[in-house]
């Protein structure tokens, strides 16, 4: 990239003889300088691009082309532990939440704001008596083994009523059948971002959906007919997901015991990267990426206690 | 620069003021010319600054992603296609690079000649003309394409992209390139795939930085296993699957009575099963739900409103706003299609309309009717939609002009 120096101007002004300036050279000089300023503008005002080293590129390319698949193995440490444990905890909001904003409902008002009821923004739900913070998601990043459980005999129900998704944060296993349902007398469409699913759900009806892949973080679910409708869904292969209840508490049972597990924490309002919730809990190795580590013994119910979420972590 | 200021100084005082003025101007003019940007640098791919800033990459991480992606895909003048991409490098060379001719009658640099001014050298839809177009040109990097014969989230087939190039997209600025030879169109389609695979791999790499374990210290593993075996393979597999993932379209029933079918389609259009009316409007003029965004615009809108402005790190907010200014276009709400104009962007064959209704439109809010509306009913809707430009009364009302052309 060429670089444009704009410092030339000051050097010039100093060198032009003052006598000449007094004789009325100033206007033409000024005009000239404007030309210089305009002409030298080769930066387009965009944020600077990283400069790469051609040698490093060539070297890496040779490696990518020549090396056959690197020796594998050694990665899988194997499932050595036995037994299962449970993790529990409770999120509380340290602060006073502002009143939830009313959503602008401008379609199908006879159903969506029945009896003049208003739909409220649900991105920050704090229990007034216990200060519990709802809808915080906690899930295992990688699990070495998974406890077999009897396959569900009925699909999970993800429902919508009065133009709201009933469950604001929903979790399911990859491959588990989900009945995307509509209990409203009006039609909806359910659009799960990052997946193939965006389908019409007629009034009083449902469609089955089987998530095919994990979501790295909870992904947004919307209805395009009623754009204020919003929920989040998280799909994990092992199903080790906890979503905090109205009182802020969460429980994840049947976790592999005897090994260091790493958990990822998420909240819709979190200002962390990808909405990861970072907390000041060095005892749990809690990182700014919203991850903490815990080891659970067999048959143990590990309680990590009350987890205080400062208002600033959720954007005030 | 050797424009010594002493040159402009006249030894003898005030007399030839004009000459001096001219001289000063001349010198400044030379300086103006010399202070330009110098030789044009070779074309380069821009890093996806929106995703990089969204993920708050450090300069070091940005450099790593740029290096890795450059090693995997080369530059606009020298594209590289690793065998795993399944791309034909010979075709890419025909489309890539500056416009030039090495053999009489054969032209290279087709992409830059025909496409780059809107779609950008990087395929990021930030070419110089992009901001003046409505709709904006397609950004290939997220790997989302609208008009295709595959299920909603699947990639388009080679034939789908070829069709778009040959027919253009009616109602948009995308023209037909039917005057190009088959070989040239084929090369361009291959190059669009290349840019898309490159862009999607780049997004995947940037996002993978968040997924790293603490021990990695924010550095992506530069191994073949990770870069090719995981990141590239994830994108390429979807492209490879496309050609066998065609929507299974049952024939339109042969004994269908058109008048009856249109009436049934009309019922479905307004009914709450297909629910077309919600967005396309009670008059089908596209005046229903119109305050939503498509995926490309939503990506920008959500970022601006929530993450950027709510962040405590003001220095970062500042940078994010500069990226939003320079690397994105002003977001626009969607425009549900006006079905009375008889202009169908994805093609006007009944089959094209069937694809759109069955699978919905990827990237757009348009949902799929698949699973909800049986195939036969989709054909009824197709018939009704095709009749809309010619429907003279009904919902449109007597107060509107009768000739479709005059209504707009």
Is the confidence at residue A40, as pLDDT, over 60? Answer: no
Please report the pLDDT score of residue A286 as a whole number. 95
- Model pLDDT for residues B351-376, shown as the tens digit of each residue: 999 999 999 999 999 999 998 899 99
Kind of pairing between the strands at A188-192 and A198-201: antiparallel
Is the confidence at residue B15, as pLDDT, over 80? Answer: no
Is the confidence at residue B403, as pLDDT, over 80? Answer: no
Q: How many CB atoms lie within 10 A of CB B72?
A: 26
Model confidence at B41, pLDDT cuts 50, 70, 90, reads confident
> pTM of the entire structure?
0.84
Query: For testing the chain B interface, which of A11, A224, A291, A313 should be mutated: the one with the most B CBs within 10 Å?
Result: A224
Model confidence at A308, pLDDT cuts 50, 70, 90, reads very high
Interface list for A 189-218 with B (CB within 8 A): 189-191, 193, 195-196, 198-203, 205, 207, 216
Contact A47 B322 (CB under 8 A): yes
Fold of B258-292+334-407: Cytochrome Bc1 Complex; Chain D, domain 2 (1.10.760)
Model confidence at B400, pLDDT cuts 50, 70, 90, reads low
List b or e across A17-48, with b for residues whose CB sees 16 or more CB atoms inside 10 angstroms: eeebeeeebeeebeebbebbeebbeeeeeebe
Is the confidence at residue A81, as pLDDT, over 50? Answer: yes
Residue the block writes with tokens 């095919």: A212
* CA distances, A286 to each of A89, A216, A281, A289, B207 (Å): 14, 18, 5, 8, 21
Mean pLDDT for all residues in chain B: 88
Assembly ipTM:
0.78
CA B162 to chain centre: 16
Q: Is B9 on the interface with A (CB under 8 A)?
A: yes
Chain B residue with the nearest C-alpha to that of A202:
B273
- For residue B229, the 8-state DSSP code is I
Please report the pLDDT score of residue B408 as a whole number. 45
Lowest-pLDDT choice from A196-210, A229-243, B388-402: B388-402
Domain boundaries, chain B: 5-34, 49-242, 258-292+334-407, 295-327
Identify the structural domains of chain A with CATH numbers, from first to last: 8-39 (no CATH), 84-314 (2.60.40.420)
Please report the pLDDT score of residue A133 as a whole number. 96
A254 vs A263: CA distance, rounded Å:
14
Contact A36 B28 (CB under 8 A): yes
- Model pLDDT for residues B107-129, shown as the tens digit of each residue: 899 999 999 999 999 999 999 99
- Burial label for A244, CB within 10 Å (0-12, 13-18, 19+), is buried
Please report the pLDDT score of residue A79 as a whole number. 56
- Model pLDDT for residues A270-299, shown as the tens digit of each residue: 988 889 999 999 999 999 999 999 999 999
Chain A to chain B Cβ contacts (< 8 Å): 205
Nearest to A82 by CA among A258, A238, A295, A255: A258
Model confidence at B343, pLDDT cuts 50, 70, 90, reads very high
Chain B residue with the nearest C-alpha to that of A62:
B71
Give the rounded percent of residues in chain A with a pLDDT score beyond 70: 81
Pick the more confident residue, B66 or B405.
B66
Nearest to A283 by CA among A13, A116, A89, A140: A89
Contact B210 A216 (CB under 8 A): yes
Interface list for A 94-123 with B (CB within 8 A): 106-107
CB B404 within 8 A of CB B340: yes
Pick the more confident residue, B32 or B229.
B229
Chain A residue with the nearest C-alpha to that of B311:
A271
* A32: chain B residues, CB-CB within 8 Å: 24-25, 28-29, 31-32
Nearest to B92 by CA among B72, B105, B78: B78
Is the confidence at residue A14, as pLDDT, over 50? Answer: no
């Amino acid at each position: 990239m060429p670089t444009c120096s704009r410092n030339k101007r000051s050097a010039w002004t100093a060198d032009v003889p003052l006598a000449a300036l007094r004789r009325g050279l100033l206007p033409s000089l000024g005009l000239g300088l404007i030309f210089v300023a305009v002409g030298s503008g080769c930066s387009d005002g965009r944020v600077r691009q990283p400069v790469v080293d051609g040698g490093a590129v060539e070297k890496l390319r040779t490696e990518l082309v020549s090396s056959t698949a690197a020796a594998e193995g050694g990665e899988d440490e194997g499932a050595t532990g036995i037994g299962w444990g449970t993790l529990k905890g409770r999120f509380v909001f340290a602060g006073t939440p502002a009143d939830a904003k009313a959503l602008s409902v401008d379609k199908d008002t006879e159903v969506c704001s029945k009896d003049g009821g208003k739909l409220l923004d649900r991105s920050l739900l704090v229990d007034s008596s216990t200060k519990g913070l709802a809808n915080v998601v906690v899930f295992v990043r990688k699990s070495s083994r998974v406890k077999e459980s009897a396959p569900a005999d009925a699909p999970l129900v993800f429902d919508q009523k009065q133009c709201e998704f009933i469950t604001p944060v929903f979790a399911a296993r990859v491959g588990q059948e989900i009945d995307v349902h509509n209990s409203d007398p009006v039609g909806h469409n359910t659009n799960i971002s990052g997946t193939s699913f965006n389908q019409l759900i007629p009034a009083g009806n449902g469609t089955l959906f089987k998530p095919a892949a994990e979501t790295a973080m909870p992904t947004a679910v919307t209805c395009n007919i009623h754009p204020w409708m919003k929920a989040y869904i998280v799909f994990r292969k092992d199903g080790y997901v906890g979503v905090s209840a109205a009182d802020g508490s969460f429980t994840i049972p049947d976790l592999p015991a005897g090994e260091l597990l790493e958990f990822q924490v998420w909240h819709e309002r979190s200002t962390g990267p990808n909405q990861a919730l970072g907390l000041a809990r060095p005892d749990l190795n809690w990182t700014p990426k919203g991850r903490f580590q815990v080891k659970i013994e067999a048959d143990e119910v590990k309680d990590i206690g009350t987890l205080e979420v400062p208002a600033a972590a959720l954007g005030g | 620069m050797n424009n010594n200021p002493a040159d402009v100084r006249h030894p003898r005082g005030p007399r030839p003021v004009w000459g001096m003025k001219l001289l000063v101007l001349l010198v400044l003019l030379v300086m103006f010319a010399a202070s330009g940007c110098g030789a044009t640098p070779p074309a380069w791919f821009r890093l996806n600054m929106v995703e990089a800033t969204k993920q708050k990459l450090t300069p070091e991480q940005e450099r790593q992603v740029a290096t890795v992606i450059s090693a995997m895909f080369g530059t606009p003048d020298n594209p590289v296609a690793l065998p795993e991409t399944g791309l034909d490098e010979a075709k890419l060379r025909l489309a890539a690079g500056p416009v030039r001719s090495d053999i009489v009658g054969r032209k290279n640099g087709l992409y830059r000649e025909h496409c780059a001014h809107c779609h950008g050298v990087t395929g990021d839809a930030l070419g110089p003309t992009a901001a003046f177009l409505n709709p904006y040109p397609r950004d290939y990097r997220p790997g989302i394409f609208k008009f295709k014969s595959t299920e909603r989230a699947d990639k388009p087939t080679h034939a789908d992209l070829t069709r778009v190039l040959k027919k253009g997209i009616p109602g948009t600025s995308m023209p037909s390139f039917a005057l190009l030879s088959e070989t040239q169109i084929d090369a361009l389609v291959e190059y669009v795939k290349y840019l898309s695979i490159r862009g999607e791999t780049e997004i995947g790499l940037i996002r993978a930085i968040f997924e790293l374990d603490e021990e990695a210290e924010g550095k992506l593993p530069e191994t073949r296993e990770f870069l090719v075996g995981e990141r590239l393979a994830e994108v390429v597999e979807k492209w490879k699957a496309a050609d066998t993932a065609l929507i299974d379209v049952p024939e339109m029933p042969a004994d269908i009575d058109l008048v009856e079918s249109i009436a049934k389609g009309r019922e479905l259009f307004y009914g709450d099963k297909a629910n077309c009316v919600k967005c396309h409007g009670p008059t089908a003029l596209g005046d229903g739900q119109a305050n939503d965004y498509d995926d490309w615009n939503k990506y920008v809108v959500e970022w601006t409103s929530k993450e950027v402005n709510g962040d405590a790190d003001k220095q970062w907010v500042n940078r994010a706003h500069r990226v939003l200014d320079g690397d994105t276009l002003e977001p626009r709400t969607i425009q549900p299609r006006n079905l009375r104009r008889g202009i169908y962007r994805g093609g006007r064959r009944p089959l094209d309309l069937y694809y759109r209704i069955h699978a919905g439109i990827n990237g757009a809010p348009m949902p799929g009717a698949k699973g909800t509306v049986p195939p036969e009913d989709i054909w009824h809707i197709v018939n009704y939609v095709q009749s809309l430009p010619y429907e003279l009364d009904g919902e449109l009302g007597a107060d509107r002009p009768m000739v479709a052309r005059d209504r707009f």
